[in-house]
Amino acid sequence: MSRLPVFHYGKARLTAGFALKLARGLAQGQIDEDTDSKIRQSRDAVKSIVNSGEVVYGVNTGFGPLCRETISAEDTKILQEHILRSHSSGIGAPIGEEKSKLMLILKLHALSKGYSGVSPELIERIGLQIEKNLVPVVPSQGSVGASGDLAPLAHLFLPLIGLGKLHSGGEIVEAGKVLGDMGIPPLTLGPKEGLALINGTQFMAAHGVSALERFHNCLDCADIIGAMTLESLLGSVKPFKPELHELRPYGGTRHTAYRLRHLLQDSEMVESHKACKKVQDPYSLRCMPQVHGASRQAWLHLKETVEIEINS
């Protein structure tokens, strides 16, 4: 059996398509030695701040209006657990299991860049959840997307501390029981780790990745339906010639014209009436590249936006 393609967390550029492969078990991820070293250096910087007594927001202070409240070194760990508990206030039906797993993957990639000051042990535990398919239950409502997807991410990471719920065999079960049965103890979060877990856009980004795939499928289907329509109405492929679309070379338009030429290149029906005396086809046929292409151009913009976000 061939080895699955490998993604290097925190190092390689993640595409929306490869994120879905990871979520579906069609690829595997790993953290390289140099990435691990960067993560450890970042964590050491946080430890240094705590040991020095320097006051830094999110490390040894309260949050929001309580930012002027200094937290003792002994209480910084309790604070991080409390931030997960206090923000896990989402409501509504759970998002799909695949979207929740995508959130884990996107968060692991972000934390592995070494800018968040979390421990290698925390990153290893998130990786274990992905590998073992221990997918948290995340409510669909509750994020305002302001300082990140605070509520959804809090729910996503409750299982790290033995709380929350997991998807298991089509059912929703208590995370503490599942992890306990597997011999996986709860983690004790270190300074800043709770804040690093809930600050991020992985809820929105996971929806974006999923929407990109569905949007792309719709675009491909539209081209196929258009090609079949053109065949049935004995239309011409001349409006799709590449030299025409080089005159106004929008990426989406050129791609759609190419797709239509490719789909119709062996069409006996199109070939059968090449010499007919019809002057031109209706707009809806001959302008398919312009119409479908505008939508594809929008998809390309969305893809660029989503992929910047999942690599940030």
From first to last of its 312 residues, what are the pLDDT tens digits of the chain? 458 999 999 999 999 999 999 999 999 999 999 999 999 999 999 999 888 889 998 888 988 888 898 888 888 888 999 999 999 999 999 999 999 999 999 999 999 999 999 999 999 999 999 999 999 999 999 887 777 899 999 999 999 999 999 999 889 999 999 999 999 999 999 999 999 999 999 999 999 999 999 999 999 999 999 999 999 999 999 999 999 999 999 999 999 999 999 999 999 887 777 767 777 889 999 999 999 999 999 999 999 999 999 999
Superfamily of domain covering 6-200:
Fumarase/aspartase (N-terminal domain) (1.10.275.10)
Structure tokens at 2: 């061939």
Count of residues for the chain?
312
CB atoms within 10 A of CB 199: 16
The DSSP code for 161 is G
How far is residue 288's CA from residue 222's CA, in Å, rounded to a whole number? Answer: 9
Which of these is catalytic: 9, 57, 115, 250?
57
Q: How many CB atoms lie within 10 A of CB 119?
A: 22
Residue extents of the structural domains in the chain: 6-200, 209-310
DSSP state of 12: S
Q: Is 283 a catalytic residue?
A: no
How many helices (H) and strands (E) the chain has is answered by: 14, 7
> Cα–Cα distance between 159 and 211 in angstroms, integer?
27
Residue 145 phi, psi dihedral angles, 5° rounding:
65, 20
Rounded to 5 degrees, φ, ψ at 5 are -60, 150
> For residue 30, what are the β-bridge partners?
8
